[in-house]
A = this chain, B = another copy of it.
Amino acid sequence: MSPKITTELLKQLRQVMKNPKFVQEPVQAYIVPSGDAHQSEYIAPCDCRRAFISGFDGSAGTAIVTEQQAAMWTDGRYFLQAAQQMDNNWTLMKMGLKDTPTQEDWLVSVLPEGSKVGVDPFIIPADQWKRMSKALRSAGHDLVPIQENLIDTIWADCPQRPCKPLITLDLSYTGVSWRDKIVALRSKMAERKVMWFVVTALDEVAWLFNLRGSDVEYNPVFFAYAVIGMNTIRLFIDGDRMMDPAVREHLQLDSTLEPEFKIQVMPYGSILSELQAVGAGLSPKEKVWLSDKASYALTEAVPKAYRYLTPYTPICIAKAVKNTSETEGMRRAHIKDAVALCELFNWLEKEVPKGTITEIIAADKAEEFRSQQKDFVELSFATISSTGPNGAIIHYKPVPETNRTLSVNEIYLLDSGAQYKDGTTDVTRTMHFGTPSAYEKECFTYVLKGHIAVSAAIFPNGTKGHLLDSFARSSLWDCGLDYLHGTGHGVGSFLNVHEGPCGISYKTFADEPLEAGMIVSDEPGYYEDGSFGIRIENVVLVIPAETKYNFKNRGSLTFEPLTLVPIQTKMIDVNLLTQKECNWVNDYHQKCREVVGAELERQGRHEALQWLIRETEPLVRVQ
């Protein structure tokens, strides 16, 4: 990997930082965050501005360019990659290390007195603006919004913002019509006494209107905003997508509707002026509900006294609780996904010993098998196909420079998933195609025990996911082992593979209580730098649990695995399992065999079926 040469680009950026065409007053520093205007985790190429200016294209990082310097903040996952991708114009700021200054502290230390620091107000979330602005102000500087993005002004071949056709989802997929979702949203608004709700996250717009898109890779979303009033619906979206008859019918754009369900379609770029108009017309007590992560630009459009900010929007919370149509769809999607993986693993078992299968070939083959399944749309994230030491790199993605050949001597870790029209999958299996060592089996078994501890946990209604995180680690901890990532994340229903507001993590975050219908991943791991990685991941559905007693009538919950892919028994040291854990594995494999076996049979995939039957032989524990 050779670094991007940025000397000329930085020179151009520093010129526009002083150019009155773009800035009212010259700015002495310009901040280039990672995100887009919707605070998306995955972004479109046209939004990869930080990668364009610096060369560093990891998923997290903030660039700051001053008149003399250029600095990049990123976290431990990306220290190496950033150092390789950036030239000498850039200073790498290693976040999490003790001596690394915060962006604010660094700015204060390098800026001349009374400086102006510019940032695109659409890209910076309001809460970050507030913190940065306060720190700069107390040191005599000013954070100023620059309406035109300065990177865009120097980005000659900047890709167009995608504007791809939409997919309409009918009731059989969504279970609830967009009209009913609007009714439910308005009732939440009434409860909180707010008159307007601004939808800024792309997956929230998609969910609300039962539409999907493909503007962003892996995430079936489209660029849009919405502003929902008690009697109005405004959808801000570009292109001729609203000309599509299927979309017009789905949204009933040409029907005679009660006025409160009439959708006004407006240009994507007009959100700010429309919201400002809404803001200007507010009478006392007419609050506007926004996510506290919405952009500074949109937040500022509403006068402070009228803002109602929450960490999670009512859509985010409603979206997390899947209805029967959605869970049934998720079940179907996971069966199809399991069929593809049975085919893949059967194929790998035969091909790996030949020494011709690389990580990239394996990943491509996984995609090929998935794409044969009904309603396959695309992958849900970049496949992590990693063998040997690459498996220890938690966010690894094989590229030609790192591409390693699978062998019978190394552990292989595959973390992959897909978007189907009926659901989103995300599964990790760790395999050995030869004979694993006793130590590898031992570590795998601890990870498995942690996986089971979460999956089989019974807990009271209203429990927050972070309270389950230690269950996943306990067996590893007993031997002095651990893994440095959370245990689970929310999963969307044919939507983003990572979604809020629930999860399972030791990191204290404001997760909402788990409730029946929520879907999360269960993915403990163990990683040994330079040698191997182990992770066992199922997507699991929160379901009611039957218990002997029922304290305070609260009811209990547990998980049902949606993922139905065998866990390689060759990797298990059965004697480290309790009888209960052993039964869990056998019951799980029995279900895989029955449910996925039937589908393999139906699809005539006999060889994969034989593989499934072999891989789901019951474990026997020696007492």
Contact = CB atoms under 8 A, between A and B. Distances in A.
A578 to B, nearest CB: 8
Contact of A480 (B468, B474, B547): B547
Contacts of A548: 479-480
A470 interface: yes
A551 B482 contact: yes
Query: Copies of this chain, how many?
Result: 2
A541 B529 CA distance: 33
A550 interface: yes
Contact of A551 (B467, B471, B480, B552): B480
Q: Kindly list the 3 A-B residue pairs having the minimum CB-CB distance in the complex, ordered from nearest.
A: A480-B547, A480-B549, A479-B548
Interface in A252-278: none
Interface stretch (A1-9, A53-61, A89-97, A456-464): A456-464
Contacts of A549: 479-481
A283 interface: no
A155 interface: no
A477 interface: yes
Contacts of A471: 470, 474
A477 B506 contact: no
Contacts of A356: none
20 contacts: A457-B477, A458-B477, A458-B478, A458-B480, A459-B473, A460-B477, A460-B480, A460-B482, A466-B508, A467-B506, A470-B470, A476-B551, A479-B547, A479-B549, A480-B547, A480-B548, A480-B551, A482-B551, A482-B552, A482-B554
Given A468-B470, A469-B467, A482-B551, A477 B556 contact: yes
A191 to B, nearest CB: 12
Contacts of A478: 458, 547
Interface in A479-495: 479-482
Contacts of A459: 470, 473, 477
A568 to B, nearest CB: 22
Contacts of A468: 470
A579 B459 CA distance: 24
Contacts of A466: 508
Contact of A470 (B467, B508, B547): B467
Interface in A514-568: 547-552, 554, 556
Contacts of A473: 459
Contacts of A508: 466, 508
Contacts of A458: 477-478, 480
Interface in A189-240: none
Contacts of A476: 551
Contacts of A556: 477, 480
A154 B59 CA distance: 65
A552 B484 CA distance: 10
Interface in A436-476: 457-460, 466-471, 473-474, 476
A482 B551 CA distance: 7
A563 B554 CA distance: 34
Given A479-B548, A482-B552, A482-B554, 16 more contacts: A457-B474, A458-B477, A458-B480, A460-B482, A467-B469, A468-B470, A470-B470, A476-B551, A477-B556, A479-B549, A480-B547, A480-B548, A480-B550, A480-B556, A481-B551, A508-B508
A554 B473 CA distance: 15
A170 to B, nearest CB: 38
A532 to B, nearest CB: 14
Q: Which has the most chain B C-beta neighbours within 10 Å: A467, A476, A477, A479?
A: A477
A311 to B, nearest CB: 14
A440 to B, nearest CB: 13
A513 to B, nearest CB: 11
A59 to B, nearest CB: 23
A554 B474 CA distance: 16
Interface in A57-81: none
A37 to B, nearest CB: 30
A374 to B, nearest CB: 39
Contacts of A470: 459, 467-468, 470-471
Nearest to A553: B480
A227 to B, nearest CB: 26
A470 B467 CA distance: 6
A208 B320 CA distance: 51
Contacts of A474: 457, 471
A478 B558 CA distance: 10
A460 B481 CA distance: 8
Contacts of A481: 549, 551
Nearest to A459: B477
Contacts of A482: 460, 551-552, 554
A590 to B, nearest CB: 22
Nearest to A484: B552
Contacts of A480: 458, 460, 547-551, 556
A468 to B, nearest CB: 7
A277 to B, nearest CB: 26
A476 B547 CA distance: 10
A547 to B, nearest CB: 3
Contacts of A552: 482
A143 to B, nearest CB: 20
A64 to B, nearest CB: 25
A521 to B, nearest CB: 19
A474 B482 CA distance: 20
Contacts of A547: 478-480
A481 B551 CA distance: 5
A393 to B, nearest CB: 16
Nearest to A479: B548
A367 to B, nearest CB: 34
Contacts of A460: 477, 480, 482
